Structure 1
């Protein structure tokens, strides 16, 4: 029996699996495309052919996929539900507060424990001192897995018993990121339209690694160098918009920005760096490079 099963081997899921391997933790992995597991070292890893097999292999399962409804998508099947009894499920897929609360209730009805978390670092940081994960849920569930989660990095921050606390703060954090993105994109557009080199704008922020990186991506056209793609960021915008609708808030900000991201995806930039949005924000109608 392994100590933990990882469901999903995208950029983050693969990084989670490798961090556990680095720590000598026996793992089981599952992915819709099993071939992805070939990128893992064979030591201390079992590749499950089905979700049921993956859940049965470990007392703890970590979900890291792009589907915000992944608990029901992955577990809502007659062959899976009975295996959930007594298991701990840790959801690291970005989900809405409403969905997180519903997932907790659904799993509790099947005698499974639930924690919700958000990864606030790049995949290269997991398993290092720079690894940063926020976790919320009952402390009675968190405490037994604290050591296991510790393999993911130097900062595993437990918030409180409110299962949706991390979801709320994660969406709030995402909102600030989109504000920054749009500010940097519009600033870059101003500079280009008025004939001022982007490097001069970058030089105004010697202490901001974020501006140097993102505006530098526009300056250099290195849109193929990214961790999260423009499409992944667009999916987060859909969650921001839905949260606003669920809470009865004005959804103007995520709706407007989401429309721009959708335009970029339709233009074929979905697999590029988020700053590739600049290509469709140029005001002179030039074709993208």
Structure 2
């Protein structure tokens, strides 16, 4: 790492501390600041520099990385007059999580204030930061990304530039977290139903892992089908999916277990069937939730 490399980290929650720690460990001169005092003690002990204010922190480095809970929290810090003035002409990498619209809004604000801006998302937990297992995605000007990549590499893992549109990293983020959290909701529900039927979590887990192993191929097939406009259900029609969902709902509710998530999925399947697409696969739900399926049926 160059002797001139430097970074400021704003936000010292668990992820922010992990980011700052990785920069320090890589030999990057790292200035830190947090809205709530007292979270920087360990980092300062490791060699980080404590700033008395956000504006002072930003002025200490050409590159600032902000990682807070969402863009409301980021805006409350960055859009203060003294901080915005300190950021002018410098680069801001926003690794906070929010929507693509908020990312584009942040980019527009940055442009209006002379701030060079990259948006990004962290797709792995704090334990991966500074290791080969971290996954970072970025969007915004490619030349700006290339300029600061040597410092960002200190965070470890893989870094991928997804395009010039500042909202593109956030679009990937929300789509991928959609998969993660609906899967986690299904796991939590499955454990509750199994336990109600006398199956312990330890007994279920090995079989649940087997279900998880099916998902990569299923995701790949669904993605290929949507890309090609092929919603065939020759191997597993959506009528079969709807039937198995009914069994899950019945077994859950017999024990007083909330089946709201499964009822929502079953409702989508039934709507697809009701519109005349019962021979298609569950992938046809993609068109339903996007508001395109009814139009296709009406044209028929």
> How does the TM-score come out when normalised to structure 1?
0.69
2:118 to 99, 112, 115: 115
Following TM superposition, by how much is the alpha carbon of 1:103 offset from its aligned partner in structure 2, in angstroms? 0.7
Matched, 1:46 2:49: yes
Q: For this pair of structures, how many residues does the alignment match?
A: 214
2:128 aligned partner: 125
Whether contact under 8 Å (2:11, 2:35) holds in the other structure is yes
Residues 205 and 24 of structure 1: CA distance in aligned 2, closer, same or farther (over 3 Å): same
Following TM superposition, by how much is the alpha carbon of 1:45 offset from its aligned partner in structure 2, in angstroms? 1.7
1:220 aligned partner: none
2:186 aligned partner: 183
Following TM superposition, by how much is the alpha carbon of 1:163 offset from its aligned partner in structure 2, in angstroms? 0.7
Q: Superposed, which structure 2 residues align to 1:9-24 within 5 Å?
A: 9-24=12-27
Structure 1 residues 176-205: Cα deviation after superposition (integer angstroms, max 9, x where no partner): 112111211221121111112222211214
1:259 aligned partner: none
Equivalent residue of 1:90, what SS? strand
Following TM superposition, by how much is the alpha carbon of 1:25 offset from its aligned partner in structure 2, in angstroms? 0.7
Distance 2:207 2:175 in 1: 27
Following TM superposition, by how much is the alpha carbon of 1:174 offset from its aligned partner in structure 2, in angstroms? 1.1
Which has more radius of gyration?
2
1:83 aligned partner: 86
Structure 2, unpaired ranges of 5+: 214-254, 259-300
Following TM superposition, by how much is the alpha carbon of 1:68 offset from its aligned partner in structure 2, in angstroms? 2.2
Residues 193 and 109 of structure 1: CA distance in aligned 2, closer, same or farther (over 3 Å): same
2:65 aligned partner: 62
1:152 aligned partner: 155
Q: Superposed, which structure 2 residues align to 1:1-289 within 5 Å?
A: 3-206=6-209, 283=256
> How does the TM-score come out when normalised to structure 2?
0.67
Structure 1, unpaired ranges of 5+: 211-281
Whether contact under 8 Å (2:136, 2:157) holds in the other structure is no
